[in-house]
Structure 1
Amino acid sequence: MANGVWHTGYGIEINLSLPDLGHPYRPDLLQEITARVSERDPQLLECLAHHDNRECLSESGGKSPWMFVRRGRVGGRRPLVASHLPITHKATPQESAQHKATKERVVATAGRYGLDAAAEVPVANRRSVSDAVVTGPAGLRIGWEIQYHHLSPSSVHRRSVNAVEHGITPLWVAKDRTASLIDRAPWVRVDDMPWRDIADGKEMVIRGGYRHLEVWRCVPSSERHCLVSDGAGHCDAIHADWFVPALCLPERKPVLIEDLVLRSATGESVPVYVPSRGSGRAGRHMWVSAADRALWEEIVDGKTPLPTAPADEDDDVITFTEQEIDRSCRAGEDGWFAGDARPLRDLAQPTGGFTLPRLPPQRPGDSTRITPVERAAASAALGCPPWELGLCAGCRQMMRRHGPNAAMYCNVCRADLNGR
C-alpha cells in the first residue's frame, strides 16, 4: 500500500497524505479517486513505480499495476492509502466453507419451518446479492448476509440501505468481535466454528447482537445498579435497559440461529436501534423480541427507526499526515499502513438505557397524574399486571397494591415503619 498514486486522466501525481492531495485547485479530486471502481475507469489510478518505468511488484507478480484508494488504519488514525487491484477480499478456503455451510443452514432451517427461502438472491436493482432471503407467512423478507471477513463500514451501510429500499430487512452475521459491520446495521455474532460442525447441525449460539429489555425500580433492594448515579446509591426512579441473555436477571436462555431464522421471519424478533445517550450519531443495533420493542417504544414515548447515518462514520474520518510521497511499489507489503488491530465492537455492556423520573407524590383519588407510559413501565418493573398497581399508603409511590401477595406499604416505607 502506498501514499501516492498517478492520475492517468489528469496526468498528475497525487499525494494522499496532503489535505488537498497536492492539487488545491481540484476540490472534487478526493471524491473522484475514492469512487467505486465499478463507477470509474479501472485504469484511472496507476502505481507510481509502473508510471516511472520502474519495477511494479504487483505487475511482476502477474497482477495489476492499477490501483484504488481507501482508508487505512494506523495508531488510531485513518490515512488514505493506495492499493493494487483487484480490490476484493479473497476468502480463504476455510472462510468460503464456513460461509457456504452457514448460508445452507439458514435456508435448510427455513424450509423445515415451512418458510420460503432462497440463496444468492439479487436485489431488485441488482446492485447487490443477499446470501439468503427468508420470507415469512405475512410476506416479511429477511436478507441474511453472512460476512466472515472484513467489510468496510461504508459497504455495510450501502448494502443495508439498498436492501431496505427494496423491502428486505438486512440481518448481518459475523464471527469476529472486531467486525466492522457490528452496530452499523442489524447484526448477530456466532462462534468461529469449523464448517463441518456448521453443516452437521452442531448448536450454533447467537453470542452477540440479540438482547432483552429489563425494567426495574431503582431502590436499595434492586439487584441492578442505578443508571443515573454511576452505580452509587438509588434514585427511586424506573430504569430500562437492554442486556444480553447471560446478563439478564434471571439469566435468559441463549438464542440459537434456528430460533432467529423463524422469529425474524414471523416478526416475533425485530431489529431496533438505540442511540447512545452521549452522541446523536452513535448507538446500538440489536435484535429483540417484538414485545420488548413495543414496551421500549412506549417507555421512550416514540419509535426509534433504523438510522440513516452517512457512510463515513467516526472512525472513517480521514487523517492527513502531510508526508513526502514514497514512490516505491509497496505491493504485498501488508505491514506498511496495513494498520493496527481492529478494536472490539461487540461489547456486552448495557446501552445506557432510559430513566423515567421518580413519580411525584400522589393524593388519594389523584390517579390521573400517572401517565400510561409510567403505568406500563411500573408494571414491567414490578412484575405485575397494570390492574394490580396502586399507590403506597405512605410515600404515595406506585407499587403492587392489589392481588396476591400485595401490601399497603412499599418496601422502603415498611423498613421505616419497622425501624421506629
Structure 2
Amino acid sequence: MANGVWHTGYGIEINLSLPDLGHPGRPDLLREITASIADRSPHLLECLAHHDGRECLSETGGKSPWMFIRRGRVGGRRPLVASHLPITHKATPAESEQHKATKERVVETASRCGLGAEAEVPTANRRSISDALVTGPGGIRIGWEIQYHHLSPSSVHRRSVNAVQHDITPLWVAKDRTASLIDRAPWARVDDMPWKDIAGGKEMVIRGGYRHLQVWKCVPSSNRHCLLSDGAGHCDGVHSDWFVPALCEPEKKAVHLEDLVLESATGESVPVYVPNRGSGRAGRHMWVPSADCERWRELIGEKEPLPDAPVQEGDDEITFAEQGLDRACRAGEEGWFVSDARPIRDLGQPTGGFTLPRMPAHRSGNPMLITAVERTAASAALGCPPWELGPCTECGQLMRRYGRDAAMFCGVCRAVLNDR
C-alpha cells in the first residue's frame, strides 16, 4: 500500500500515515485530497515514483500515474491509502447483466402499476444519474440506484444528497451484506441471482433494509427481552424497536422488489433514519410502512431527515501509523479490498429501541394528565385503540379497560387478587 503522494497543486509530498499529513499548516488538506474526482482535477495527486523520475509500475502497465485517496482496511485499522486511477470498478459481464436486468425490472414493474418510470435519468445539475426514476401519483420521485459492486461511502453520500436536493428520494439496491452503501442512505438488499432469473421474473425478496415497528410491554409473559436490563428480568415499561419481517411477532410477510417499487412511489412505505442509542454506529437507514413511521414519530417526538453531512462511523475512523514515507510505486498491490475483508453491515439486528419508563398510571383521577406519547405507547403495546384504554381499578395503571376482551383489573393485579 502506498502511504504517500505528490500534490501537484501545492508542489508538496504528503505522508498519509501522519495525522497532519506532514503539513500542519494546511488544516484543509485531508478534505481536499479525499474529495471526489468529479470535484477536483484528476491530475492533482501523482505517484511519488513517477514524480521522482523512477519507474511507475502503473504507467508502464499502460495505466495512469495519477492517484486518489481512500480508506484501507488492515487488521482492524483504517489507514489512508493512495491508489492509482481509474477509481471506478469495471463491472464484469455478469454484473453488468445483473444491473441491467434489475433496472429494467424496476421500470417494467412501475409501468405495469401505472407509475411514471424512466431509465438513466440525470439530475438537473447532471452530477448524478438515477438508474431508474419512478414517479408516483402524488409526485413522489424515487431514484433507484442499482449498485452490485463496491462504491465508496463518500460517493454514496454525495450522490444521495444530490438526489435529495433535487426532490428525489434515493433507493440504493445491494446484493452483498458487506456493501458499504448499507445504512449510508435508504437501501434494500436482494439475493445475488443470475441475470436470467431476474429478467425472467423469479421472486426477488427484500432481504435487508425493510423493517416494521414493534411495541411491547416489558412483563414476564412477553416473548421479547427487556431493552434496559441486557435481556434479564423485566421493567414493566413499554419498549419499541424496528425488526425485519421474519423477526416480528407475529411474523410479517416478506417484502418483494415489486412491493417496494409500488409502495415507495405511493408513500405507503417511507425511508426513515433511526439514530442508534448507546451504540458506536451512527444509526440505520431503513424503509418502513408509513403507518409505523407515524406511530414511531408520535412515540419519540423526533423527525430525522437524511443526514446532510458525511457520517463517519466507528468502522470508518481513520487511523495513522506515523511511519516514514514510502517512495516506492505499489501498483499491483492495490485493489478495493486491502488485506482484510469488509465487515458485514447488514446484520438484521434491532436498532437499540426506545423505552417509556413504565405503562403510564391514571393520575389524580384525570385522564387528560396522561400525555399523547404515553397514550400512543400504551395503545400500541396493548394492541387496542386509545379509546379502549382506562385505569386498572386496583393500581390505576393504564390497561385495556373497555371494548372486547376488556377487564377491570390489569394482569398483575388479577394475579395478586387470585392469590389472596
TM-score, normalization: structure 1? 0.94
Residues 297 and 304 in structure 1, CA contact (< 8 A), matched pair in contact too? no
Give ranges in structure 1 of 5+ residues lacking alignment: none
1:76-115 to 2 correspondence within 5 Å?
Answer: 76-115=76-115
Partners of 1:371 and 1:9 lie apart in 2 by 60
- Deviation of 1:395 (Å): 1.5
Residues 299 and 377 in structure 1, CA contact (< 8 A), matched pair in contact too? yes
Match in the other structure for 2:391:
391
1:170 and 2:170 equivalent?
yes
Secondary structure, counterpart of 1:133 in structure 2: strand
Residues 206 and 257 in structure 1, CA contact (< 8 A), matched pair in contact too? yes
- Deviation of 1:147 (Å): 0.9
Q: Deviations over 1:265-288 (max 9, x none)?
A: 000000111111126971111100
1:57 and 2:57 equivalent?
yes
Residues 119 and 149 from structure 1, CA distance in 2 versus in 1: closer, same or farther, beyond 3 angstroms?
same
Question: Partner letter of residue 82 of structure 2?
Answer: A
Match in the other structure for 1:2:
2
Secondary structure, counterpart of 2:95 in structure 1: helix
- Deviation of 1:73 (Å): 1.7
Match in the other structure for 1:334:
334
1:13 and 2:13 equivalent?
yes
Match in the other structure for 1:413:
413
Match in the other structure for 2:356:
356
Question: Partner letter of residue 387 of structure 1?
Answer: W
Residues 332 and 410 from structure 1, CA distance in 2 versus in 1: closer, same or farther, beyond 3 angstroms?
same
Residues 114 and 336 from structure 1, CA distance in 2 versus in 1: closer, same or farther, beyond 3 angstroms?
closer
Match in the other structure for 1:44:
44
Residues 68 and 82 in structure 2, CA contact (< 8 A), matched pair in contact too? yes
- Deviation of 1:359 (Å): 4.1
Match in the other structure for 1:228:
228
1:18-37 to 2 correspondence within 5 Å?
Answer: 18-37=18-37
Partners of 1:110 and 1:74 lie apart in 2 by 43
Count of residues paired in the alignment: 420
Partners of 1:302 and 1:30 lie apart in 2 by 34
Residues 236 and 41 from structure 1, CA distance in 2 versus in 1: closer, same or farther, beyond 3 angstroms?
closer
Question: Partner letter of residue 152 of structure 1?
Answer: S
Bigger mean CA offset, 59-68 vs 358-367: 358-367
Partners of 2:395 and 2:232 lie apart in 1 by 22
Secondary structure, counterpart of 1:150 in structure 2: coil
1:109-188 to 2 correspondence within 5 Å?
Answer: 109-188=109-188
1:276 and 2:276 equivalent?
yes
Secondary structure, counterpart of 1:412 in structure 2: helix
Residues 74 and 337 in structure 1, CA contact (< 8 A), matched pair in contact too? no
Residues 200 and 2 from structure 1, CA distance in 2 versus in 1: closer, same or farther, beyond 3 angstroms?
same
Question: Partner letter of residue 327 of structure 1?
Answer: R
Match in the other structure for 1:304:
304
Residues 416 and 318 from structure 1, CA distance in 2 versus in 1: closer, same or farther, beyond 3 angstroms?
same
Match in the other structure for 2:376:
376
Partners of 1:264 and 1:364 lie apart in 2 by 45
Q: Deviations over 1:220-252 (max 9, x none)?
A: 211111111222112111111111100001111
Residues 15 and 22 in structure 2, CA contact (< 8 A), matched pair in contact too? yes
Cα RMSD for the two superposed structures:
2.0
Secondary structure, counterpart of 2:415 in structure 1: helix
Residues 36 and 155 in structure 2, CA contact (< 8 A), matched pair in contact too? no
Question: Partner letter of residue 172 of structure 2?
Answer: W
Question: Partner letter of residue 401 of structure 2?
Answer: R
- Deviation of 1:22 (Å): 2.9
Residues 392 and 408 in structure 1, CA contact (< 8 A), matched pair in contact too? yes
Residues 413 and 318 from structure 1, CA distance in 2 versus in 1: closer, same or farther, beyond 3 angstroms?
same
Residues 214 and 243 in structure 1, CA contact (< 8 A), matched pair in contact too? yes
Q: Deviations over 1:289-317 (max 9, x none)?
A: 11000001011123233333435444333
Bigger mean CA offset, 125-134 vs 84-93: 84-93
- Deviation of 1:24 (Å): 3.6
Partners of 2:224 and 2:128 lie apart in 1 by 44
Partners of 2:13 and 2:280 lie apart in 1 by 39
Residues 154 and 312 in structure 1, CA contact (< 8 A), matched pair in contact too? no
Partners of 2:136 and 2:61 lie apart in 1 by 49
Residues 364 and 53 from structure 1, CA distance in 2 versus in 1: closer, same or farther, beyond 3 angstroms?
closer
Q: Deviations over 1:358-381 (max 9, x none)?
A: 245436742122222222221221
Residues 206 and 256 in structure 1, CA contact (< 8 A), matched pair in contact too? yes
- Deviation of 1:102 (Å): 0.7
Secondary structure, counterpart of 2:14 in structure 1: strand
Question: Partner letter of residue 238 of structure 2?
Answer: I
Partners of 1:339 and 1:93 lie apart in 2 by 26
Partners of 1:68 and 1:215 lie apart in 2 by 47
Q: Deviations over 1:148-198 (max 9, x none)?
A: 111111111111111111000111111111111111111111111111111
Give ranges in structure 2 of 5+ residues lacking alignment: none
- Deviation of 1:26 (Å): 4.0
Partners of 1:212 and 1:38 lie apart in 2 by 38
What percentage of aligned pairs have identical amino acids?
79
Residues 306 and 227 from structure 1, CA distance in 2 versus in 1: closer, same or farther, beyond 3 angstroms?
same
Partners of 2:147 and 2:158 lie apart in 1 by 15
Residues 188 and 208 in structure 1, CA contact (< 8 A), matched pair in contact too? yes
Partners of 1:202 and 1:232 lie apart in 2 by 43
Secondary structure, counterpart of 1:196 in structure 2: helix
Partners of 2:317 and 2:170 lie apart in 1 by 25
Residues 43 and 359 from structure 1, CA distance in 2 versus in 1: closer, same or farther, beyond 3 angstroms?
closer
